Amino acid sequence: MATTTDSWPGRVSLMVAHCAGMLDLVALPVWVGVLISHYKFEPREAGGLATLFLIGAVVSSLYFASRFTRSNARLLVVSGFIVAAVAFLLASRTEDYKTLAALHLVAGAAAACGLSFTHGTIARSSNPHRLFAIVGMALGIFAIVFLGATPNLIAALGGPVLFVVFAGVMAVAALTSILVFPGLKPKTETMFFDRVARIRPAIWFGVIGVSCMGLTQAMMFSFIERIGADRGFGSDAVTGVLIALGFVNLFPAPLAALLETRISARAVILAGPALQALVAVAIALSTSFPLYALPTAVFAAVMIFTHTFAFGLLSRLDPSSRVVAGTPAMLMIGAAIGPVLGGTLVQAYGYEALAIAAVIIDAAAILLFSRVPLPDEDSLPNPTMTVA
């Protein structure tokens, strides 16, 4: 019997691939922290390496998303994660900045190739919102394991072990994709729109809005660990907060699935950036451990919940699934700027500057999301329109 998106083996493969491809969403605090504390790079340099990973992801996702309907999804998912695993393994063997920069770029491009076809496959399922919520819950479980175990491994074995862990995650994703990655079963209307439909301009407001939230997410998340450490909260306490963040991340995706038909997607995508900005301000301006720990624990959950609704909405607005196949680009075109922007602001003006930047960026996201139509507000593309 063929593996499909409606069977659990297929869903497990998509869960693992989603976790590997979204590694930056979980790992950025530890990642940037290790580059600063163990490799002794300046904040701007450390943020720059993470940014190179994300730049590679953006370019790769933009390239492959437009080719989603004309490619062998399983082959490219497997190939992408294998290349990413090799790149990270090589990164664990060097401390040269230029070499690390090149390897980050390659790893980002390869991982995003796998993630683009993973998200495009999810969008072709019978219920993209629900399946994206399922893989989102898997990401929450992965975050608990990663944030609970990796800092201790780094403390015991040194900074390079971080890249060995990254390589292992990519290798597991490649293996599960070889075994049970689901076959693509296009919807009837999707096959038609693949040939004749042009992506409507209004959809791009949603795409850029998600990118803005990704920018705030990466900018703040890259320095959450450093904020706690520099304010004297202690490594054990900060690690505990990151573990708590992982536990909290278990809930937004299933909650989004439960509320799919009970809350307007428009309401969620308008409220999400406002809440994200509020939480970012609380973290950046925190002066005591409780005021740091509580907003930090829920910070990523806001993005996960909002993005689940945005993913479902964009899937319905674009039957070809090309837009959501570009989800890595959506998230990472903003996230690519985040670490280096955050590092520059922190180095020049301190952590308080992150709060101001978050408010400005999320205000732009709200404005953009306000322009996105709901599926029943706008008809599907006219069949006479030509391919973009």
Higher confidence at residue 44 or residue 14?
14
* Full set of structural domains in the chain with CATH: 8-375 (1.20.1250.20)
Task: For helices 8-21 and 128-157, give the axis angle rounded to 10 degrees.
Answer: 50
Name the helix (H) or strand (E) containing 193. Answer: helix 188-196
So what's the pLDDT on residue 212?
93
* Burial classification of residue 43, based on how many CB atoms lie within 10 Å of its CB (0-12 exposed, 13-18 middle, 19 or more buried): buried
First-last CA distance in the chain: 36
So what's the pLDDT on residue 69?
66
Say how far apart CA 364 and CA 103 lie, in whole Å. 33
So what's the pLDDT on residue 191?
43
Position 178, amino acid: I
Distances (CA, A) of 19 to 14, 106, 117, 130: 9, 18, 14, 16
Average pLDDT over the chain reads 84
pLDDT above 80 (res 65) = no
The per-residue pLDDT for range 330-341, each reduced to its tens digit, is 777 777 788 778
So what's the pLDDT on residue 329?
74
The separation between CA 294 and the C-alpha centre of its own chain, rounded to angstroms, equals 22
Say how far apart CA 384 and CA 347 lie, in whole Å. 53
The per-residue pLDDT for range 237-271, each reduced to its tens digit, is 888 888 888 788 888 888 988 898 888 888 999 99
So what's the pLDDT on residue 253?
83
Contact 139, 249 (CB under 8 A): yes
Q: What is the pTM of this model?
A: 0.75
Instruction: Count, in order, helices (H) and strands (E) of the chain.
Output: 18, 0
Contact 6, 125 (CB under 8 A): yes
| CA-closest candidate to residue 317, choices 205, 200, 208 | 200
The per-residue pLDDT for range 194-222, each reduced to its tens digit, is 444 566 667 888 888 998 998 998 889 87
